[in-house]
Amino acid sequence: MTHLSRGDAGSGGSRSPLIEPGAVDVAAYLTEKGALVDAFLDERLPAADSGPGKLHEAIRYCVFARGKRFRPALAIATCEAFHGRTEAVLPAAAAIELIHVSSLVHDDLPCMDDADLRRGKPSCHRAYGEALAVLVGDWLLAFPFEILSCPSMGALLRPEQCCITGQEIARSVCSSGIVAGQVADLEAERRQIGLDELQRLHVHKTGALIRAAVRCGLVAAGVPFADLDAHARFAEQLGLAFQVADDILDVTADEATLGKPVGADNANNKSTYVSLLGLDGARRVAEETAAQAHALLTELPPGSDPSVLHALVDFVVGRGS
Ligand code: GRG
């Protein structure tokens, strides 16, 4: 479906397209892989009406809202780039999406960003109240590890692969991951921070889960653990590009497209790539970071097929241009 043709891999320098424009239909890829992830989750999440209270209804409300499913698609694309089986990476891909949703629910709370809208709908605490939203976020953070430790995982991955997958995902949340990044972000509010500090913060807050998606894809494809660092290097650049594009969209997109309030960063006194560099400067950083991601993808070993990964990099910066 997605591999219509493959272009010249190029040198990865400044923004020469590494694949022919239109060679990979990213929108169709995200839809196709998103549907797989949704079906996987639909089978495993408790029924909306099963109680207690509205817990499971609220969980489904958040999970099945209109998200791009970028992170699970990235995990699947990485696994497929190394000729791994989609079924082998699907549990990790779904787990990563749940962690992401958990972070969105908590991020929207009054004590954090206090956002009324998420994925085009009232945020979880707006729809279900603050106490239940905290608990929905808690639940969504633990359930991924129930999925990953399910005995049926043994039919898909070797025990060491299961362990590393769980470790990668847990690490993307803890002291070098989303939670640490969010603490740094809160600390940085109401003061001017520099580009280095902003970048460090986002390596954790946004980059860590994107990196985990790539690493879990590599693990599921059976890439030797010793090669994970080298093969996942593009993910760091991709994570940064994703955040820069997100900052740009916060000032350029409309609420209907974004599915959340625009201008929220400014309202919350956050330093962003746009506030530090201006719109053109931020766009330049997005392009440069994407070029680095493309260049690193060209260094993947012969035999791998990173064409969808190149297209996902272009998709990320394309959203912010
Ligand atoms: C409970 C894991 C957990 C963390 C708590 C609140 C918090 C600490 C962290 C906030 C992390 C956060 C929301 C970072 C922003 C990441 C980001 C750019 C989100 C937008 O991602 P998209 O565009 O959204 O992929 P969709 O809705 O399409 O999935």
Give the DSSP letter string of 49-96. Answer: GGSSTTHHHHHHHHHTSS---HHHHHHHHHHHHTT--HHHHHHHHHHH
Q: How far is the CA of 303 from the centre of ligand 1 (A)?
A: 34
CATH of the domain spanning 26-318, picked from 3.90.1150.10, 1.10.275.10, 1.10.600.10, 3.40.190.10: 1.10.600.10
Ligand 1 atom at shortest distance from the alpha carbon of 260: 27
Query: Residues in the chain, how many?
Result: 321
Q: Whose CA is nearest to atom 24 of ligand 1?
A: 67
Asked if 97 contacts 71 with a C-beta cutoff of 8 angstroms, the reply is: yes
Averaged over 295-300, what is the pLDDT? Answer: 97
Q: How far is the CA of 178 from the centre of ligand 1 (A)?
A: 8
1 pLDDT tier (thresholds 50, 70, 90)? very low
Model pTM? 0.93
Given a cut of 70, whether residue 318 has pLDDT beyond it is: yes
Supply the pLDDT for residue 26: 96
Residues near ligand 1 with C-beta < 6 Å? 67-68, 70, 99-100, 102-104, 106-107, 112, 119, 137, 141, 173, 178-179, 182, 205-206, 243, 246
Measure the CA dihedral 243/205/238/75, to 10°.
-130
**Test site for ligand 1: of 104, 113, 134, 268, most ligand atoms within 8 A of the Cβ:** 104
Q: How far is the CA of 162 from the centre of ligand 1 (A)?
A: 24
Q: Interior CA angle at 238 toward 8 and 21, to 5°?
A: 35
Q: Interior CA angle at 153 toward 147 and 159, to 5°?
A: 115
Q: What share of the chain is helix, strand, coil (3-state, %, to 5)?
A: 70, 0, 30
Q: Whose CA is nearest to atom 26 of ligand 1?
A: 67
Asked if 181 contacts 208 with a C-beta cutoff of 8 angstroms, the reply is: yes
Q: How far is the CA of 130 from the centre of ligand 1 (A)?
A: 18
Supply the pLDDT for residue 320: 67
241-253 residue pLDDT tens: 999 999 999 999 8
Asked if 176 contacts 204 with a C-beta cutoff of 8 angstroms, the reply is: yes
Helix (H, G, I), strand (E, B) or coil at 19: coil
Helix axes 70-81, 86-107, angle to 10 degrees: 160
Given a cut of 70, whether residue 128 has pLDDT beyond it is: yes
Given a cut of 50, whether residue 54 has pLDDT beyond it is: yes
Supply the pLDDT for residue 270: 85
Ligand 1 atom at shortest distance from the alpha carbon of 70: 25
* Strand-pair partners of 121: 118
136-156 residue pLDDT tens: 999 999 999 999 999 999 999
User: How far apart are alpha carbons 203 and 241 in whole angstroms?
Assistant: 10
**Test site for ligand 1: of 63, 64, 107, most ligand atoms within 8 A of the Cβ:** 107
Q: How far is the CA of 10 from the centre of ligand 1 (A)?
A: 33
Q: How far is the CA of 76 from the centre of ligand 1 (A)?
A: 19
Given a cut of 70, whether residue 14 has pLDDT beyond it is: no
Task: Give the type of residue at 22.
Answer: G
User: How far apart are alpha carbons 271 and 266 in whole angstroms?
Assistant: 8
Residue 320: closest CA among 285, 296, 291, 295: 285
Supply the pLDDT for residue 264: 78
